[in-house]
Structure 1
Amino acid sequence: MSKSPNKVEKKVWVLYFAWLVSVVATLGSLYFSEIKGFIPCDLCWFQRIFMYPLVVILGIGTFQSDISVKKFVLPLSIVGGLISLFHYLEQKVPGFGGIRPCVSGVPCSAEYINWFGFVTIPFLALTAFTLITISMIYLFLKKSKQ
Protein backbone atom coordinates (compact mmCIF):
# COMPACT_ATOMS: atom_id res chain seq x y z
CA MET A 1 0.00 0.00 0.00
CA SER A 2 1.52 3.33 -1.02
CA LYS A 3 1.27 6.52 0.95
CA SER A 4 -1.23 9.00 -0.31
CA PRO A 5 0.33 12.17 -1.73
CA ASN A 6 -1.75 14.28 0.64
CA LYS A 7 -0.25 12.67 3.76
CA VAL A 8 3.30 12.95 2.42
CA GLU A 9 2.63 16.58 1.45
CA LYS A 10 1.41 17.42 4.98
CA LYS A 11 4.58 15.96 6.47
CA VAL A 12 6.73 17.99 4.11
CA TRP A 13 4.87 21.13 5.18
CA VAL A 14 5.67 20.31 8.81
CA LEU A 15 9.34 19.95 7.86
CA TYR A 16 9.15 23.19 5.89
CA PHE A 17 7.64 24.99 8.91
CA ALA A 18 10.37 23.66 11.22
CA TRP A 19 13.03 24.68 8.70
CA LEU A 20 11.60 28.21 8.47
CA VAL A 21 11.60 28.48 12.27
CA SER A 22 15.27 27.43 12.37
CA VAL A 23 16.18 29.90 9.61
CA VAL A 24 14.42 32.78 11.39
CA ALA A 25 16.08 31.84 14.71
CA THR A 26 19.51 31.66 13.08
CA LEU A 27 19.09 34.94 11.22
CA GLY A 28 17.74 36.53 14.41
CA SER A 29 20.77 35.46 16.42
CA LEU A 30 23.08 36.75 13.71
CA TYR A 31 21.15 40.04 13.59
CA PHE A 32 21.48 40.53 17.33
CA SER A 33 25.22 39.81 17.33
CA GLU A 34 26.42 41.14 13.99
CA ILE A 35 24.12 44.11 13.39
CA LYS A 36 22.99 45.17 16.87
CA GLY A 37 26.42 44.37 18.34
CA PHE A 38 25.16 42.21 21.23
CA ILE A 39 28.01 39.97 22.37
CA PRO A 40 26.77 36.39 22.92
CA CYS A 41 27.34 34.89 26.36
CA ASP A 42 28.49 31.30 26.91
CA LEU A 43 24.96 29.88 27.02
CA CYS A 44 24.03 31.80 23.84
CA TRP A 45 26.89 30.05 22.06
CA PHE A 46 25.65 26.65 23.18
CA GLN A 47 22.16 27.47 21.92
CA ARG A 48 23.66 28.47 18.56
CA ILE A 49 25.59 25.19 18.44
CA PHE A 50 22.27 23.33 18.57
CA MET A 51 20.25 25.68 16.31
CA TYR A 52 22.57 26.31 13.38
CA PRO A 53 22.85 22.66 12.23
CA LEU A 54 19.05 22.44 12.23
CA VAL A 55 18.96 24.89 9.32
CA VAL A 56 21.04 22.52 7.20
CA ILE A 57 19.45 19.25 8.36
CA LEU A 58 15.86 20.50 8.07
CA GLY A 59 16.66 22.22 4.77
CA ILE A 60 17.96 19.00 3.26
CA GLY A 61 15.03 17.03 4.66
CA THR A 62 12.50 19.56 3.39
CA PHE A 63 13.83 19.83 -0.13
CA GLN A 64 14.29 16.08 -0.47
CA SER A 65 10.91 15.36 1.20
CA ASP A 66 12.77 13.13 3.66
CA ILE A 67 11.02 13.07 7.03
CA SER A 68 13.60 10.62 8.39
CA VAL A 69 15.66 13.68 9.44
CA LYS A 70 13.34 13.92 12.44
CA LYS A 71 15.50 11.39 14.29
CA PHE A 72 18.47 13.79 14.02
CA VAL A 73 16.50 16.98 14.59
CA LEU A 74 14.57 15.96 17.70
CA PRO A 75 17.59 15.39 19.99
CA LEU A 76 19.20 18.66 18.86
CA SER A 77 16.00 20.64 19.42
CA ILE A 78 15.33 19.10 22.84
CA VAL A 79 18.86 19.71 24.16
CA GLY A 80 18.92 23.22 22.67
CA GLY A 81 15.54 23.92 24.25
CA LEU A 82 16.75 22.75 27.65
CA ILE A 83 19.76 25.06 27.40
CA SER A 84 17.44 27.93 26.43
CA LEU A 85 15.14 27.17 29.35
CA PHE A 86 18.09 27.12 31.75
CA HIS A 87 19.36 30.40 30.30
CA TYR A 88 15.93 32.02 30.59
CA LEU A 89 15.59 30.87 34.20
CA GLU A 90 19.03 32.29 34.92
CA GLN A 91 17.81 35.67 33.67
CA LYS A 92 14.39 35.73 35.29
CA VAL A 93 14.56 33.74 38.53
CA PRO A 94 16.40 35.54 41.35
CA GLY A 95 19.18 33.42 42.82
CA PHE A 96 19.15 30.98 39.90
CA GLY A 97 22.08 32.71 38.19
CA GLY A 98 24.63 31.49 40.71
CA ILE A 99 24.16 27.83 39.77
CA ARG A 100 26.37 28.08 36.71
CA PRO A 101 27.92 31.52 36.34
CA CYS A 102 29.41 32.51 33.01
CA VAL A 103 33.15 32.72 33.40
CA SER A 104 34.13 34.89 30.47
CA GLY A 105 32.76 37.88 28.64
CA VAL A 106 29.13 38.87 29.04
CA PRO A 107 27.28 37.46 32.05
CA CYS A 108 24.55 35.01 31.10
CA SER A 109 22.08 36.86 33.30
CA ALA A 110 22.38 40.01 31.15
CA GLU A 111 19.26 40.95 29.19
CA TYR A 112 19.94 42.79 25.95
CA ILE A 113 16.23 42.90 25.19
CA ASN A 114 13.23 42.61 27.49
CA TRP A 115 10.09 43.06 25.43
CA PHE A 116 6.79 43.06 27.35
CA GLY A 117 8.71 42.27 30.53
CA PHE A 118 9.38 38.62 29.63
CA VAL A 119 10.60 38.24 26.03
CA THR A 120 14.39 37.96 26.07
CA ILE A 121 16.79 36.40 23.57
CA PRO A 122 16.80 33.01 25.38
CA PHE A 123 12.98 33.14 25.42
CA LEU A 124 13.00 33.61 21.64
CA ALA A 125 15.39 30.67 21.27
CA LEU A 126 13.24 28.55 23.59
CA THR A 127 10.19 29.37 21.49
CA ALA A 128 12.00 28.31 18.30
CA PHE A 129 13.30 25.07 19.83
CA THR A 130 9.83 24.31 21.21
CA LEU A 131 8.14 24.81 17.82
CA ILE A 132 10.72 22.59 16.13
CA THR A 133 10.38 19.92 18.84
CA ILE A 134 6.58 19.93 18.56
CA SER A 135 6.88 19.60 14.77
CA MET A 136 9.20 16.59 15.08
CA ILE A 137 7.00 14.93 17.71
CA TYR A 138 4.05 15.44 15.35
CA LEU A 139 5.98 13.61 12.62
CA PHE A 140 6.81 10.75 15.00
CA LEU A 141 3.17 10.45 16.10
CA LYS A 142 1.87 10.54 12.53
CA LYS A 143 4.21 7.71 11.57
CA SER A 144 3.01 5.54 14.44
CA LYS A 145 -0.66 6.00 13.41
CA GLN A 146 -0.08 4.81 9.86
Structure 2
Amino acid sequence: MSFSRSALFLYLAWFVAVVATLGSLYFSEIRLFLPCELCWYQRIAMYPLAVLLGIAAYTNDLKITKYALPFSIIGGLIAFYHYLLEKVPGFASVKPCSQGIPCDVAWINWLGFITIPFLALTAFVLITVFLLISKKVR
Protein backbone atom coordinates (compact mmCIF):
# COMPACT_ATOMS: atom_id res chain seq x y z
CA MET A 1 0.00 0.00 0.00
CA SER A 2 1.53 3.30 -1.05
CA PHE A 3 0.77 6.57 0.70
CA SER A 4 -0.48 9.23 -1.71
CA ARG A 5 -1.36 12.87 -1.34
CA SER A 6 -5.04 11.99 -1.70
CA ALA A 7 -4.67 9.58 1.24
CA LEU A 8 -3.33 12.46 3.32
CA PHE A 9 -6.57 14.39 2.83
CA LEU A 10 -8.63 11.29 3.60
CA TYR A 11 -6.69 10.93 6.85
CA LEU A 12 -7.29 14.61 7.64
CA ALA A 13 -11.03 14.19 7.01
CA TRP A 14 -11.03 11.10 9.21
CA PHE A 15 -9.11 12.91 11.97
CA VAL A 16 -11.66 15.75 11.98
CA ALA A 17 -14.54 13.25 12.13
CA VAL A 18 -12.94 11.41 15.06
CA VAL A 19 -12.26 14.63 16.99
CA ALA A 20 -15.84 15.81 16.36
CA THR A 21 -17.25 12.46 17.48
CA LEU A 22 -15.15 12.43 20.64
CA GLY A 23 -16.03 16.07 21.28
CA SER A 24 -19.74 15.37 21.08
CA LEU A 25 -19.35 12.44 23.44
CA TYR A 26 -17.32 14.62 25.83
CA PHE A 27 -20.06 17.24 25.95
CA SER A 28 -22.84 14.72 26.53
CA GLU A 29 -21.16 12.03 28.65
CA ILE A 30 -18.62 14.00 30.70
CA ARG A 31 -20.03 17.55 30.84
CA LEU A 32 -23.57 16.07 30.90
CA PHE A 33 -25.00 18.46 28.29
CA LEU A 34 -28.15 16.80 26.98
CA PRO A 35 -28.25 16.77 23.15
CA CYS A 36 -31.30 18.30 21.51
CA GLU A 37 -33.03 16.82 18.47
CA LEU A 38 -30.87 18.76 15.99
CA CYS A 39 -27.74 17.65 17.86
CA TRP A 40 -28.84 14.05 17.37
CA TYR A 41 -29.27 14.60 13.62
CA GLN A 42 -25.76 16.05 13.44
CA ARG A 43 -24.44 13.03 15.32
CA ILE A 44 -26.25 10.71 12.92
CA ALA A 45 -24.33 12.39 10.10
CA MET A 46 -20.95 12.54 11.91
CA TYR A 47 -20.55 9.18 13.63
CA PRO A 48 -20.59 7.05 10.46
CA LEU A 49 -17.99 9.39 8.94
CA ALA A 50 -15.54 8.54 11.73
CA VAL A 51 -15.73 4.85 10.79
CA LEU A 52 -16.10 5.10 7.00
CA LEU A 53 -13.33 7.67 6.53
CA GLY A 54 -10.96 5.69 8.74
CA ILE A 55 -11.43 2.58 6.62
CA ALA A 56 -11.19 4.58 3.39
CA ALA A 57 -8.03 6.37 4.50
CA TYR A 58 -6.37 3.13 5.54
CA THR A 59 -7.19 1.46 2.21
CA ASN A 60 -6.71 4.68 0.19
CA ASP A 61 -10.22 4.23 -1.24
CA LEU A 62 -11.26 7.48 -2.91
CA LYS A 63 -14.63 6.00 -3.86
CA ILE A 64 -15.76 6.79 -0.33
CA THR A 65 -16.15 10.42 -1.36
CA LYS A 66 -19.44 9.83 -3.13
CA TYR A 67 -20.80 8.15 0.02
CA ALA A 68 -19.26 10.45 2.61
CA LEU A 69 -20.01 13.82 0.96
CA PRO A 70 -23.80 13.53 1.44
CA PHE A 71 -23.26 12.88 5.16
CA SER A 72 -20.95 15.88 5.56
CA ILE A 73 -23.05 18.24 3.45
CA ILE A 74 -26.37 17.33 5.07
CA GLY A 75 -24.79 17.38 8.53
CA GLY A 76 -23.30 20.80 7.75
CA LEU A 77 -26.66 22.17 6.65
CA ILE A 78 -28.28 20.93 9.86
CA ALA A 79 -25.45 22.44 11.94
CA PHE A 80 -25.77 25.76 10.09
CA TYR A 81 -29.52 25.85 10.71
CA HIS A 82 -28.95 24.95 14.37
CA TYR A 83 -26.39 27.73 14.71
CA LEU A 84 -28.87 30.22 13.21
CA LEU A 85 -31.45 29.13 15.78
CA GLU A 86 -29.00 29.95 18.55
CA LYS A 87 -27.60 33.22 17.21
CA VAL A 88 -30.18 34.94 14.97
CA PRO A 89 -33.19 36.37 16.82
CA GLY A 90 -35.48 35.98 13.80
CA PHE A 91 -35.08 32.23 13.92
CA ALA A 92 -36.13 32.03 17.58
CA SER A 93 -39.79 31.68 16.60
CA VAL A 94 -38.98 28.51 14.65
CA LYS A 95 -39.28 25.61 17.10
CA PRO A 96 -37.93 22.36 15.61
CA CYS A 97 -37.50 20.89 19.10
CA SER A 98 -41.01 21.19 20.49
CA GLN A 99 -40.49 18.68 23.29
CA GLY A 100 -37.54 17.88 25.48
CA ILE A 101 -34.28 19.80 25.19
CA PRO A 102 -34.68 23.15 23.39
CA CYS A 103 -32.55 23.62 20.28
CA ASP A 104 -31.93 27.32 20.79
CA VAL A 105 -30.02 26.99 24.07
CA ALA A 106 -26.27 27.47 23.74
CA TRP A 107 -24.56 25.14 26.21
CA ILE A 108 -21.24 26.84 25.50
CA ASN A 109 -20.57 30.31 24.10
CA TRP A 110 -16.83 30.76 23.76
CA LEU A 111 -15.67 34.16 22.48
CA GLY A 112 -19.30 35.10 21.92
CA PHE A 113 -19.77 32.99 18.78
CA ILE A 114 -18.34 29.47 19.27
CA THR A 115 -21.16 27.11 20.22
CA ILE A 116 -21.56 23.37 19.82
CA PRO A 117 -23.39 23.72 16.46
CA PHE A 118 -20.60 26.07 15.31
CA LEU A 119 -18.02 23.42 16.18
CA ALA A 120 -20.05 20.81 14.30
CA LEU A 121 -20.42 23.11 11.30
CA THR A 122 -16.67 23.71 11.26
CA ALA A 123 -16.02 19.97 11.33
CA PHE A 124 -18.50 19.25 8.52
CA VAL A 125 -17.03 22.02 6.36
CA LEU A 126 -13.48 20.76 6.93
CA ILE A 127 -14.48 17.18 6.11
CA THR A 128 -16.23 18.34 2.93
CA VAL A 129 -13.22 20.40 1.83
CA PHE A 130 -10.74 17.58 2.58
CA LEU A 131 -12.88 15.09 0.66
CA LEU A 132 -13.12 17.38 -2.36
CA ILE A 133 -9.37 18.03 -2.30
CA SER A 134 -8.64 14.31 -2.01
CA LYS A 135 -10.50 13.71 -5.26
CA LYS A 136 -8.64 16.51 -7.05
CA VAL A 137 -5.06 15.58 -6.08
CA ARG A 138 -5.12 11.94 -7.16
Matched, 1:90 2:75: no
Task: State the partner residue of 2:122.
Answer: 127
RMSD: 1.2
Of 67, 72, 84 in structure 1, the residue corresponding to residue 67 of structure 2 is 72
The runs of at least 4 consecutive aligned structure 1 residues that moved more than 6 Å come to none
Contact map agreement 2:92 2:104 (CA 8 A) in 1: yes
Identity %: 55
Q: Deviations over 1:72-106 (max 9, x none)?
A: 11111000000000000000000202224312211
1:21-100, aligned counterparts within 5 Å?
Answer: 21-100=16-95
User: For residues 25-72 of structure 1, what are the alpha-carbon distances to aligned partners after superposition, in whole Å with 9 as ceiling and x for unaligned?
Assistant: 000000000000000000000000000000111011011111111111
Distance in 2 (alpha carbons) for counterparts of 1:98 and 1:31? 30
When Rg is computed on C-alpha atoms for both structures, the one with the higher figure is: 1
**1: distance between equivalents of 2:133 and 2:47?**
22
Aligned length: 137
* Structure 2 unaligned blocks of 5 or more: none
Query: 1:114-136 CA distances to partner (integer Å, 9 max, x unpaired)?
Result: 00000000000000000000011
User: 1 or 2 for the larger relative contact order (CA 8 Å, sep ≥6)?
Assistant: 2
Contact 1:42 1:104 in 2 (8 A): no
Which residue number in structure 1 is paired with residue 137 of structure 2?
142
CA contact (8 A) 2:5 2:137 kept: no
Match of 1:108 in 2: 103
